Structure 1
C-alpha cells in the first residue's frame, strides 16, 4: 500500500482560546499577546528558520516521498511575513498553506488534500515547530516503521541536536535526548479512497504522554531533529542566559560533518 506523508507547522498563528493562548501569561490581554507573538525580532527569526533552513530540506524530502508540508497561519499575521509565506509556497511546491480562522485542524486539511485520490493509502501525520528542523533523512528513517501492521501506532525519534539561533545562524551545537519530543512525532493512519474517509490515531493530550493513547515506536539511534533553544527570539542577542543555561547542560556536538549531512542548510560557524 502506498503512503502519503504530511508534516504540519504552526507559524505564529493568533488564535484566541487556543492552548497557546490559554497558557500565555497575558491571556486576558489580547493586545499584549498579539504584540508578543508578532514581535518583529521573533517573526524574523522564525521566518528565517522555517523558510530559509527548513523548507529547502522538506522540498528535498518530497523528491523521494509522497509528501506535503502544511503551514498554518492566520490573516492577522502582519506584513511582510505573510507575503514571505506566499512567496515561499511558490518557490517550494512541498509547502501547503492553511489559513486558520478558529482552530488548527491538520486532519481536515489532509482530508481535503486527499479527497480526489483514487487509491487508498497509509497516511502519516507529523508535527514540527516553526523554529525547529527535521533531518533531510527523517522520512527515510520514519518509513521503515510505516506498515499496515503499525496502523494506529505513533513513532518518536528521541535524539537530536540543540542550538542557539542568533543573527540568522545556528551555533553552540549540543546533543540532546528526550522522551517523546514533539519534533517529528508521527502518527500512522489510513485513507479509504472508496469511502473518502481519513482515519488518524488520537494525539490530543500532548506529545509527552502519547504512549497513553497509542503504542509508540521509539528510536533514538540517530540524529533526526534540530531544536532551537531561545527566549522567544525577539530580543535574543548572543547567549541568552535562560536559553544557554538549558542548552549548556547537554554534551557538545563534535561531529560537524554529520551535522551538515543531516541539516545541509545549516550554516556552520566553526572559527
Structure 2
C-alpha cells in the first residue's frame, strides 16, 4: 500500500495569498518577505523540529508501509539548511528532495504518483496522499490508522484524524501540552486516490482543508492520537497576533491553547510519540513541572476528594476543573490545603498567616478547614486557578476538595493539577 507525503520547507512564493506572510498584510515588499522567510530566527526552530522530531517519527510510522515523502525547498534556502535536508535524505530512504527553482513551482505528490505506481506490482491500487508541515509531527501508528480507509470504496474521500496534541516548542523542548479535537486539521490530512488505465490520477475539487466536507466526503476517525500540532512564535499563524515580543506571543499562544484540557495520559502520549519522551510537559514553561492528580472525571461525594501531590515549593499553580449540576450554587465547594515542611511534617496553619496575607487563599477559623479557596461551582463547567508562592522550606502536603453548602448537588471533578512554576 502506497502513501505519498509532501512537506514544503520554506518554499518561495511571494505572490501567494494563502498565508499572512505572503498576502500583503504583514510585509510591505518582496524583499521584506524574503528576509523573513530565510531568517535564522524563523528557520532554526523549523529545521530542529523537522530533523530531530518529525522525520524520526515518520520513520517509525513507515515500518511495514511503502511511503515516499516529497520534501520541497527553495534554491534560495541558505546552504547550511539545505545541507541538513540533504543529510536527512541520505539517512531516510523514503525522502525525495525537490529543489524549487526561481520562477517555477514545486513538484506535487500527484505529479510523482504515476511513475511510482507504474513501477509497482499493482499500478491501479488505491493509495493515499498526505500533507505535513515542516514543524508538525505524526504519530508512530499514523499509517496503521489510515490504512483501513485506503480502499476502492473510499477513493475520492479524505481521512481526518481528529484527536491530537498541541504543544509549544522552544529550544528542543515542548511544553503546555494540550489534548485537542480539530476535525479536518491539515496535519496528516489524507486523500484517497487511484490511477486509471490511462495513467491519470483521480483529483479532488480545490478546497480549504477546514471546508473540505462541503466538496467531498470526509472520513473522521478520532479514536487515537493523530497528530502533534506544534506551536511557536515564528509560525505564520503567530503573524496575525497583536503581540510582537516573544514573551507576549507565548502568553497569547497559551491563552488560546488553554481552552483545551492538559495532557495527563503520558502512556498514551509516549506510545504515539516515543521520540518525545523526556521532551514534553503539560506545564506552562519548559522548566516547570506539572502533575495531573486524577486521570478521569470523579464525582464528588460527601467524603470529598483527598490527594497527595509530589512535594513542590516556591511558586505553585493549582488548577481545578469541574462540572456542576443545574441546581448548584456559587461557592459550593472548597479546595483545602495542608502544608508540610521538607521532611513531610505538618505545619501549624497559624504560623503561615504573614506569608499568605496578600495571596489568593484564606485561613478559616474552623480548624477542620485550615487554608482554603472557594471553587467556582456555577451550573455547568467551571475552572479555578490558584497561583501562590510558598515560603521557604514549605510544600503542599495535601490538597482536598469538599462540598460546602449543598451536599445534594452533583459535582464532578474533571481535573486537578499541581504545577511548580520555574521562570
Q: Is 1:108 the equivalent of 2:111?
A: yes
1:170 pairs with one of 174, 177, 193: 174
Q: Do the aligned residues in 2 keep the contact of 1:188 with 1:201 (CA within 8 Å)?
A: no
Q: Do the aligned residues in 1 keep the contact of 2:62 with 2:143 (CA within 8 Å)?
A: no
- Give deviations 1:40-63, integer Å, cap 9, x for gaps: 122111111111101111122222
2:213 pairs with one of 211, 227, 235: 211
Deviates more, 1:165-174 or 1:97-106: 97-106
Secondary structure, aligned partner of 2:128: strand
TM-score, with structure 1 as normaliser: 0.90
Distance 2:194 2:160 in 1: 19
2:146 pairs with one of 142, 145, 150: 142
* Greater Rg by CA: 2
Distance 1:145 1:111 in 2: 21
The offset of 1:200, in angstroms, is 3.6
Q: Find the counterpart in structure 2 of residue 4 from structure 1.
A: 2
Distance 1:215 1:238 in 2: 40
Q: Do the aligned residues in 2 keep the contact of 1:174 with 1:250 (CA within 8 Å)?
A: yes
Distance 1:157 1:50 in 2: 21
Distance 1:109 1:168 in 2: 34
Q: Is 1:69 the equivalent of 2:69?
A: yes
1:232 pairs with one of 234, 253, 256: 234
- Give deviations 1:114-166, integer Å, cap 9, x for gaps: 45445322121011111110111111011111110111111111111000000
Deviates more, 1:143-152 or 1:13-22: 13-22
The offset of 1:207, in angstroms, is 0.3
Q: Find the counterpart in structure 1 of residue 335 from structure 2.
A: none
Distance 2:186 2:34 in 1: 24
Q: Do the aligned residues in 1 keep the contact of 2:127 with 2:193 (CA within 8 Å)?
A: yes
Distance 1:244 1:160 in 2: 17
What are the residue-to-residue correspondences of 1:247-262 with 2, within 5 Å? 247-262=257-272
Kindly report structure 1 stretches of 4+ aligned residues shifted beyond 4 Å: 233-239
- Give deviations 1:204-231, integer Å, cap 9, x for gaps: 3210011122111011121110001222
Distance 1:237 1:130 in 2: 23
1:4–1:269 distance in 2 versus 1, CA, 3 Å: closer
- Give deviations 1:154-194, integer Å, cap 9, x for gaps: 111111100000011211110111131111111000134x5
Q: Find the counterpart in structure 2 of residue 160 from structure 1.
A: 164
Q: Do the aligned residues in 1 keep the contact of 2:61 with 2:141 (CA within 8 Å)?
A: yes
Q: CA RMSD in A?
A: 2.2
Distance 1:175 1:269 in 2: 13
Deviates more, 1:161-170 or 1:8-17: 8-17
Query: Which one scores higher on RCO, CA 8 angstroms, separation ≥ 6?
Result: 1
Deviates more, 1:95-104 or 1:258-267: 95-104
Q: Find the counterpart in structure 2 of residue 40 from structure 1.
A: 40
Q: Do the aligned residues in 2 keep the contact of 1:11 with 1:130 (CA within 8 Å)?
A: yes
Distance 2:170 2:26 in 1: 26
Secondary structure, aligned partner of 1:69: strand
Distance 1:161 1:208 in 2: 18
Q: Do the aligned residues in 2 keep the contact of 1:166 with 1:238 (CA within 8 Å)?
A: no
Structure 1 spans left out of the alignment, 5+ residues: none
Secondary structure, aligned partner of 2:69: strand
1:43–1:237 distance in 2 versus 1, CA, 3 Å: farther
TM-score, with structure 2 as normaliser: 0.59
1:147–1:113 distance in 2 versus 1, CA, 3 Å: closer
